């Protein structure tokens, strides 16, 4: 598409946007009676208007049925028993992640799921103990890997193989990641990294990574915190062994909302996959027998540990229905155009470290402003443009296709041009 730096052009794009009706399904933050331009969905997505209805329904069930809400159906309240509340979001999550419904489950929080899955899929031996990852991944992943490795009696300094960008570059070359898998293949016990890097917004070729890892008989997993609901995923077809994600960014399920995980069906019937079990992952038909000996539920559900948080699950389900309803291909097309338009408007002003190829990024651009970046960020905020600041000099802007517009992109580009050319 040939872009034009003109507000009327941006508004024309909005008029032909097939997702334009979705914005009205979200609460847009206001300040002094004016809507903010919210480009921070990569940190916390906006509140769907359906969230309050979903939450109020479960509060009414709690009020009127109390403990029987777990087992009783109430047609007047449109209530299905809480016992199977984790099943409500499965069709949406399967669409969003390119999985089968049995392979996904909403549960826990991201890092809890990461530890659970490391227990199941990291099997170090004398010859194969190393984990290949990227340097500078999100801190929760770094800390989880470090402590999990130590819990196995191993030294992270000897176990972790961290692939870095080339000298003078901010993003990774795929050839370097694949070469590292080839080079260390015989000593790897696991390949694990983010699908989209939180800082740069780089989208990794997960299909190629999974394919090569499989050739070396190495399990592969992905942290999809910045990928789920953002980029197309085909976890089942790619043969990814496991994945995990949070849901409060592009899935918009609320601060600290319920996370989720994926376990490929090829592992569902295996008896040699260890796990840290809890009673909610026990065979649902026999759960209340309270007997010894863990018998897991089929599929990803068997990795559940604790009783689901019903109120959070209700909001989560309402939120993911919006993403699935919009459809990932349609979201992706708009996302690529939004970021491409923003790139067009500001690429001559700042150093954009996010890949220039729309196919190698999600809906985020990371701008490096070395001289007065924090001042510019503060000025943007004061003007009602909400992005994200990362030390020492990075502004992350994430136009989310469900609720952001091309007109907003134009306004952000115009504000940056004015602020960066003052004086």
Q: What is the pLDDT of residue 75?
A: 84
Domain boundary among 295, 325, 355: 325
**What's the average model confidence in pLDDT over 113-125?**
97
Global pTM value: 0.96
378: in domain: yes
From 107-121, 284-298, 366-380, 398-412, the region with the lowest mean pLDDT: 284-298
Q: Which domain holds residue 245?
A: 69-325
For residue 79, list its beta bridge partners. 74
Residue 340 and residue 316 share a domain? no
Mean pLDDT across the chain: 96
Residue 351 and residue 224 share a domain? no
DSSP string, 279-342: GGGB-GGGGGG--SS--BPSGGGGG--S---HHHHHHHHHHHHHHHHH-HHHHHHHHHHHHHHH
**What's the average model confidence in pLDDT over 51-79?**
92
Residue 415 and residue 354 share a domain? yes
From 33-42, 73-82, 227-236, 366-375, the region with the lowest mean pLDDT: 73-82
**What's the average model confidence in pLDDT over 46-75?**
95
Give per-residue pLDDT as tens, 13-27. Answer: 999 999 999 999 999
**What's the average model confidence in pLDDT over 122-128?**
96
pLDDT above 90 (res 271): no
Q: What is the pLDDT of residue 371?
A: 86
Residue 167 and residue 35 share a domain? no
pLDDT bin (cut points 50, 70, 90) of residue 46 is very high
Residue 302 and residue 198 share a domain? yes
Taking Cα atoms as reference points, which of 28, 64, 20 lies closest to residue 46?
Answer: 28
Tally of CB atoms within 10 A around 348 = 8
Residue 220 and residue 178 share a domain? yes
Residue 313 and residue 273 share a domain? yes
Q: What distance in Å separates the CA atoms of residue 366 and residue 356, rounded to the nearest whole number? A: 11
110: in domain: yes
250: in domain: yes
**344 prior amide bond cis, ω within 30:** no
Residue 263 and residue 252 share a domain? yes
Residue 73 and residue 125 share a domain? yes
pLDDT bin (cut points 50, 70, 90) of residue 394 is very high
Tally of CB atoms within 10 A around 326 = 19
56: in domain: no
Residue 368 and residue 262 share a domain? no
264: in domain: yes
Q: What is the pLDDT of residue 423?
A: 43
Tally of CB atoms within 10 A around 400 = 28
CATH number at residue 398: 3.90.1150.10
Give per-residue pLDDT as tens, 255-270. Answer: 999 999 999 999 998 8
63: in domain: no
pLDDT above 70 (res 108): yes
Q: What is the pLDDT of residue 251?
A: 98
- Burial of residue 242 (CB within 10 Å: 0-12, 13-18, 19+) is buried
Residue 334 and residue 319 share a domain? no
pLDDT bin (cut points 50, 70, 90) of residue 272 is confident
Domain boundary among 298, 325, 352: 325
Residue 362 and residue 320 share a domain? no
Domain boundary among 290, 325, 360: 325
Give per-residue pLDDT as tens, 303-324. Answer: 999 999 999 999 999 999 999 9
pLDDT over 90, % of the chain = 93
47: in domain: no
Q: What is the pLDDT of residue 422?
A: 67
- The number of folded domains in the chain is 2
Q: What is the pLDDT of residue 79?
A: 84
Give per-residue pLDDT as tens, 193-211. Answer: 999 999 999 999 999 999 9
Taking Cα atoms as reference points, which of 52, 103, 40 lies closest to residue 318?
Answer: 52
60: in domain: no
**What's the average model confidence in pLDDT over 271-282?**
91
Q: What is the pLDDT of residue 3?
A: 97
3-class DSSP assignment, residue 142: helix
């Amino acid at each position: 598409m040939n872009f034009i730096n003109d507000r009327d052009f941006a508004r024309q794009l909005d008029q032909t946007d097939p997702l334009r009706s979705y914005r009205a399904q979200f609460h847009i933050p206001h300040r002094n009676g004016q809507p903010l331009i919210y480009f921070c969905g990569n940190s916390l997505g906006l509140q769907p208007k359906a969230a309050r209805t979903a939450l109020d329904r479960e509060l009414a069930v709690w009020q009127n049925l109390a403990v029987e809400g777990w087992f009783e159906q109430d047609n007047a309240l449109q209530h299905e028993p809480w016992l199977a509340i984790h099943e409500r979001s499965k069709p949406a999550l399967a669409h969003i992640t390119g999985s089968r419904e049995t392979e996904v489950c909403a549960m826990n929080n991201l890092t809890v799921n990461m530890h659970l899955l490391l227990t199941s899929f990291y099997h170090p031996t004398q010859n194969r103990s190393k984990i290949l990852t990227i340097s500078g991944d999100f801190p929760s992943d770094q800390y989880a890997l470090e402590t999990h490795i130590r819990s196995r009696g191993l030294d992270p300094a000897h176990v972790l193989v961290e692939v870095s960008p080339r000298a003078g570059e901010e993003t990774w070359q795929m050839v370097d990641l694949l070469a590292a898998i080839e080079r260390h293949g015989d000593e790897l016990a696991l390949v694990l990294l983010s699908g989209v890097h939180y800082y740069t917004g780089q989208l990794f070729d997960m299909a190629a990574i999974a394919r090569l890892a499989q050739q070396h008989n190495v399990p592969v997993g992905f942290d999809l915190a910045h990928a789920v609901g953002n980029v197309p995923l085909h976890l089942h077809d790619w043969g990814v062994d496991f994945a995990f994600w949070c849901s409060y960014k592009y899935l918009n399920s609320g601060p600290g909302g319920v996370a989720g995980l994926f376990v490929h069906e090829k592992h569902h019937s295996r008896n040699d996959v260890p796990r840290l079990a809890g009673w909610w992952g026990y065979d649902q038909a026999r759960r209340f027998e309270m007997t010894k000996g863990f018998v897991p539920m089929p599929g990803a559900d068997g990795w559940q540990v604790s009783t689901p948080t019903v109120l959070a699950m209700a909001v989560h389900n309402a939120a993911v229905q919006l993403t699935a309803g919009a459809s990932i291909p349609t979201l992706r097309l708009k996302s690529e155009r939004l970021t491409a338009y923003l790139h067009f408007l500001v690429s001559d002003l700042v150093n954009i470290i996010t890949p220039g190829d729309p196919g190698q990024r999600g809906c985020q651009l990371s701008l490096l402003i070395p001289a007065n970046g924090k001042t510019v960020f503060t000025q943007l905020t004061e003007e009602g443009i909400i992005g994200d600041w990362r030390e020492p000099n990075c502004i992350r802007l994430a136009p989310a296709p469900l609720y952001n517009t091309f007109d907003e992109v134009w306004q952000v580009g115009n504000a940056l041009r004015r602020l960066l050319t003052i004086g």
